[in-house]
């Protein structure tokens, strides 16, 4: 394997990792930190992508402005999510799961029925290629990587260094103790939902540009997000970072050695083996329920 | 004639003759259907319903031990593909490959479940989910052997091409399997499963090897899922991974919740309703997800005990109203 | 000595929840384990019953080395316990709770259970009889069909004891059995414990209620995971270190 190929794979790994991390952040905030099973994350992501498309392509707004507006609008779903989908079924694993699936199905079906079959895609957020010696990286990937890294750091800072973040951790780890401390769990949950929706919206818009849009793109997203969270371990955002690198690495390097459809099967196979050996993930703590 | 726990519960509910008679009646009606109708389509739908009921009930069997097998449909797929591939490529008779396929599914279920039997049940849920995804992808990548994305075709039939023999076979197999699963649940094994589900700590403190019992439930559940899948393979002659993915598992969960997870008959009622209702509305095929999702949401939000729990729920509403009225009258005086 | 605890240590990360704990419980003895909150008493229980694995140390029960044995194996050897929190199967009725717990004595094999053999039927009938007797003993037979989670707190604790007795234990570990009980219930619990002692059973008791501790033959006092005192009830009551352990916190605050 030549050096260029290797370096190319490394760059690809970093990009994929940042992409997966971007996708997983919103979900991780709710599931990993607060133990709220947010099955509809993929759907929010998809709605974000489509909204950005509508604003920028259909209405012709500036793409970055559309992104900001999309985030703003999607964030409004946050409190709705908390009030109607999480609060009635607090700690009830089956029900939360089913409600998420029910809502996702309805929204996805509606989108599938109302959109025509043509492939839609946002214009790239950045064009051009950056050349560094023999290596070239598209600016689009670079932007995605930077935004992903930035948001990851922002979320980690939020969780570990702000009062709000610590409260979120508290609610996720020990509900009764949090109540005794006077934490308003509903308000904190709603805040987390708002942030998660915003993160999903960003991810949906950025990656909608890169991968194209589709009513069922949320399923792929949810899968990847779940992999990162479980692999990284419940309760740890740092785990998401490591897991993102691992999965990105697998997805970047494996195709170099094996071609064809076996790659995705093998990739998931590796993940399962890791889980069998280390069931709690890299940095996980025991789940509460 | 079950264990002390079940007898204790039945003391409260009165005689169990009623439900027994109802079941016998339903079975008689079902047995008569092929004699009354010529429509192969109806038989086909019922055949699929029988197998789905078997899978859905086996899903619930694992649930009552406190675990969530989110990849359950994959075990149907393992049974189906193992049996189908053995019959197609090795030329063995389906009467041999079906039991073998079932055992393969059971064995793999045990292997996947065992490392997680000592952790909290939710971990198994995750691994089961990933395992389901992995199985689908591995099968899709199987090239000619497994038929890849286009599916495995040319599977040797079990009993020829007419629907009727399969109808009776599936009716009998499903009935017997349900009886087996019901027996498991009402005897001490089932009671122990339910105990482990509620508190593995207490269960182990009274001598129950709770890790073993959890794997035990997995084995039983995967056995019947594999059986259902293997039978399907030699009935449909063609199988594809889209029948065994996460969506399929979610359907089992849905059937169970709609019918009422607390009751053995829950998944049966739920499956019957949710498979047959869309069939009735066949013209609106694209709206079927709305129907299923709608029913699901109504049940989850409004009927925690599902359809079977509905009569109890309504009775409870009336009872509370009566008490309120009486109470208010008392205070007014 | 029926139960011998030797240098029992458990580390969680850098913290030693139990540190070098050593004591024993003899046949027919009742030993009390006391100490301020957080002293490591429940951790010690969990180590003894196999829920946690010790970092160091040895446990011997009835001549067997049980240091790394799992909870169900200990139950088989004759160790029964109650739990302080969540002591019941919440979705079972009172009767079901006890019947479901009669797993070991008599033990039915899966095959017998599934095929409803005469052995199984005999066992289940016996279990029902035993369960009803135990409930009557603890004055719980009137509520036998009540959902366990609906019971008042004191009744739940009694039920937990009933459950623990189904193991036919040689050693019974009681984790704060009278917490939340009123005077009558405490009396009933005490008399039940005394009756069990009369049959040769040993009891290891974690308690905060000093009047319950009074019935103990010996008391072991823990603080910060270590044993700080051991002796008869009177000796402990007058022990300087013990008094300071309980009051020291107040002074600091």
Cα separation of A21 and A237, whole Å? Answer: 10
Do C and A touch, 3+ Cβ pairs within 8 Å? The answer is: no
Q: Given an 8 Å threshold on Cβ–Cβ distance, is B8 in contact with C113?
A: no
> Edge to edge, what strands does the sheet with C226-231 contain?
C79-81, C171-175, C202-206, C30-34, C218-223, C226-231
- CA A126 to chain B, closest CA, distance in angstroms equals 34
List strand residue ranges (DSSP E) for chain A, in order.
Answer: 129-132, 135-138
Q: Give the residue carrying structure tokens 């079990």.
A: B158
Residues 6+ apart with CB under 8 A from C35: C41, C221, C222, C223, C228, C245
> Is residue B13 over pLDDT 70?
no
Buried b (16+ CB within 10 A) or exposed e, B235-259: bbbebbbebbbbebbbbbbbbbbbb
Q: Where does the pLDDT of residue B330 fall: very low under 50, low under 70, confident under 90, or very high at 90 and above?
A: very low
Domain residues of chain C, as ranges?
3-252
ipTM of the complex: 0.88
Cα separation of C222 and C57, whole Å? Answer: 17
Please give the residue that has the higher pLDDT: either B47 or A236: B47
Domain residues of chain B, as ranges?
4-245
Mean pLDDT score of chain A = 80
| Stretches in chain A below the pLDDT threshold 50 | 288-289
Mean pLDDT score of chain C = 85
pLDDT tens track for C65-99: 988 889 999 999 999 999 888 788 988 999 999 99
Return the residue of B nearest to C75 by Cα: B207
> Is residue B192 over pLDDT 80?
yes
Give pTM, 2 decimals. 0.85
The answer to whether C109 contacts chain B (CB < 8 Å) is: no
pLDDT at position B58:
96
pLDDT at position B328:
45
pLDDT at position B326:
47
Cα separation of C49 and C74, whole Å? Answer: 6
pLDDT tens track for C19-67: 888 998 988 889 999 888 778 888 888 898 888 889 889 999 988 898 8
Listed range (B3-12, B124-133, C144-153) with the worst mean pLDDT: B3-12
pLDDT tens track for B69-125: 989 999 999 999 999 999 988 989 889 999 999 999 999 999 888 877 777 766 777
pLDDT at position A127:
57
pLDDT at position B72:
95
Question: Which site among B206, B216, B219, B223 would you substitute to test the C interface, given the most C Cβ atoms closer than 10 Å to its Cβ?
Answer: B206
Return the residue of A nearest to B199 by Cα: A289
pLDDT at position C249:
46
pLDDT at position A211:
77
pLDDT at position C227:
86
Residues 6+ apart with CB under 8 A from B125: A93, B67, B68, B69, B70
Domains and CATH numbers, chain A: 12-277 (1.10.3470)
- CA C251 to chain B, closest CA, distance in angstroms equals 38
pLDDT at position C253:
35
pLDDT tens track for B243-295: 898 888 988 988 988 888 888 999 999 998 888 777 766 666 677 778 778 88
Q: Where does the pLDDT of residue C247 fall: very low under 50, low under 70, confident under 90, or very high at 90 and above?
A: low
Chain B residues with CB within 8 Å of chain C CB: 1-5, 7-9, 11-12, 183-184, 187-189, 191-192, 194-195, 198-199, 201-202, 204-210
pLDDT tens track for B129-153: 888 888 888 888 877 888 878 888 8
Residues 6+ apart with CB under 8 A from A89: A95, A96, A99, B300
pLDDT at position B104:
96
Could you say which of 3.40.50.150, 3.40.50.300, 3.30.300.10, 3.40.1390.10 is the CATH number of the domain covering C3-252? 3.40.50.300
Q: Which residues in B lie closer than 8 A to residue C88 (C-beta atoms)?
A: 199, 202
* C76 CB-side CA count, 13 A: 11
pLDDT at position C195:
82
Q: Where does the pLDDT of residue B9 fall: very low under 50, low under 70, confident under 90, or very high at 90 and above?
A: low
């Amino acid at each position: 394997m030549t050096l260029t190929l290797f370096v190319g794979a490394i760059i690809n790994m970093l990009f994929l990792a940042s992409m997966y991390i971007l996708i997983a952040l919103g979900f991780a905030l709710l599931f990993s930190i607060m133990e709220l099973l947010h099955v509809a994350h993929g759907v929010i992501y998809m709605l974000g992508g489509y909204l950005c498309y509508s604003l920028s392509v259909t209405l012709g707004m500036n793409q970055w402005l559309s992104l900001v507006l999309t985030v703003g609008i999607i964030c409004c779903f946050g409190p709705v999510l908390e009030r109607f989908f999480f609060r009635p079924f607090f700690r009830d694993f089956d029900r939360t799961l089913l409600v998420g699936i029910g809502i996702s199905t309805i929204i996805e079906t509606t989108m599938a029925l109302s959109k025509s079959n043509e492939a839609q895609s946002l214009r790239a957020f950045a064009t051009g290629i950056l050349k560094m010696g023999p290596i070239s990286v598209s600016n689009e990937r670079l932007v995605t990587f930077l935004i992903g890294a930035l948001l990851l750091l922002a979320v980690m800072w939020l969780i570990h260094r702000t009062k709000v973040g610590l409260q979120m951790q508290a609610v996720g780890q020990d509900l009764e103790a949090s109540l005794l401390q006077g934490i308003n769990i509903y308000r904190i949950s709603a805040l987390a939902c708002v942030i998660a929706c915003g993160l999903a919206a960003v991810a949906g818009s950025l990656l909608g540009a890169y991968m194209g849009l589709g009513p069922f793109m949320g399923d792929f997203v949810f899968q990847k997000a779940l992999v990162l969270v479980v692999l990284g371990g419940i309760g740890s955002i740092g785990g998401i970072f490591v897991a993102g690198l691992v999965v990105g690495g697998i997805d970047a390097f494996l195709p170099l050695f094996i071609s064809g459809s076996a790659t995705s099967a093998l990739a998931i196979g590796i993940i399962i083996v890791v889980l069998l050996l280390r069931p709690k993930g890299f940095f996980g703590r025991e789940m509460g329920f | 004639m079950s264990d002390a726990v079940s007898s204790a519960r039945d003391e409260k509910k009165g005689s169990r003759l009623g439900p027994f008679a109802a079941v016998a009646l339903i079975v008689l009606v079902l047995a008569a259907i092929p004699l009354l109708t010529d429509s192969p389509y109806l038989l086909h739908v019922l055949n699929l319903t029988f197998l789905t009921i078997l899978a859905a009930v086996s899903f619930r069997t694992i649930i009552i031990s406190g675990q969530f097998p989110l990849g359950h449909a994959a075990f149907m797929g393992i049974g189906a593909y193992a049996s189908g591939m053995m019959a197609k490529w090795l030329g063995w008779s389906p009467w041999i490959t079906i039991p073998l396929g079932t055992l393969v599914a059971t064995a793999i279920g045990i292997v996947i479940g065992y490392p997680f039997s000592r952790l909290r049940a939710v971990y198994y849920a995750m691994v089961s989910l990933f395992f389901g995804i992995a199985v689908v992808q591995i099968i899709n990548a199987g090239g000619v052997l497994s038929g890849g994305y286009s599916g495995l075709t040319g599977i040797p039939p079990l009993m020829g091409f007419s629907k009727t023999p399969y109808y009776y076979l599936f009716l009998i197999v499903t009935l017997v399997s349900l009886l087996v699963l019901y027996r498991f649940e009402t005897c001490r094994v089932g009671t122990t499963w339910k105990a482990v589900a509620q508190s593995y700590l207490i269960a182990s403190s009274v001598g129950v090897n709770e890790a073993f019992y959890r794997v035990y439930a997995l084995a039983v559940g995967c056995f019947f899922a594999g059986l259902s899948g293997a039978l399907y393979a030699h009935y449909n002659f063609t199988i594809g991974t889209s029948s065994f993915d996460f969506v399929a598992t979610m359907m089992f969960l849905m059937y169970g919740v709609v019918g009422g997870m607390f009751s053995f008959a829950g998944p049966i009622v739920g499956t019957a309703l949710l498979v047959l209702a869309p069939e009735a509305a066949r013209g609106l095929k694209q709206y079927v997800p709305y129907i299923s999702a709608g029913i699901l949401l109504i049940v989850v939000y409004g009927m925690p005990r599902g359809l079977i729990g509905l009569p109890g729920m309504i009775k409870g509403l009336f009872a509370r109203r009566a008490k309120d009225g009486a109470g208010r009258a008392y205070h007014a005086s | 000595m029926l139960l011998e605890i030797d240098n029992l240590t458990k580390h969680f990360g850098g913290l030693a929840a139990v540190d070098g704990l050593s004591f024993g419980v003899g046949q027919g003895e009742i030993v009390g384990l006391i100490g301020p909150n957080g002293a490591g008493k429940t951790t010690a229980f969990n180590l003894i019953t196999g829920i946690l694995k010790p970092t160091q140390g040895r446990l011997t029960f009835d001549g067997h080395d049980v240091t790394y044995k799992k909870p169900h194996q200990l139950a088989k050897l004759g160790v029964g316990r109650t739990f302080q929190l969540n002591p019941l199967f919440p979705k079972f009725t009172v009767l079901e709770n006890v019947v479901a717990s009669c797993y070991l004595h008599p033990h039915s094999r899966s095959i017998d259970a599934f095929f409803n053999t005469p052995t199984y039927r005999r066992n289940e009938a016996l279990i029902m009889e035993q369960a009803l007797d135990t409930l009557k003993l603890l004055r719980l037979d009137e509520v036998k069909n009540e959902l366990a989670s609906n019971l008042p707190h004191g009744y739940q604790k009694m039920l937990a004891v009933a459950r623990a007795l189904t193991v036919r234990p040689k050693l019974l570990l009681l984790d704060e059995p009278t917490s939340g009980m009123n005077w009558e219930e405490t009396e009933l619990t005490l008399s039940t414990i005394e009756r069990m002692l009369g049959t040769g059973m040993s009891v290891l008791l974690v308690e905060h209620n000093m009047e319950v501790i009074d019935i103990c033959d010996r008391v072991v006092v823990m603080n910060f995971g270590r044993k700080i005192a051991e002796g008869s009830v009177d000796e402990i009551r007058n022990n300087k270190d013990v008094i300071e352990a309980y009051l020291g916190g107040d002074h600091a605050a």
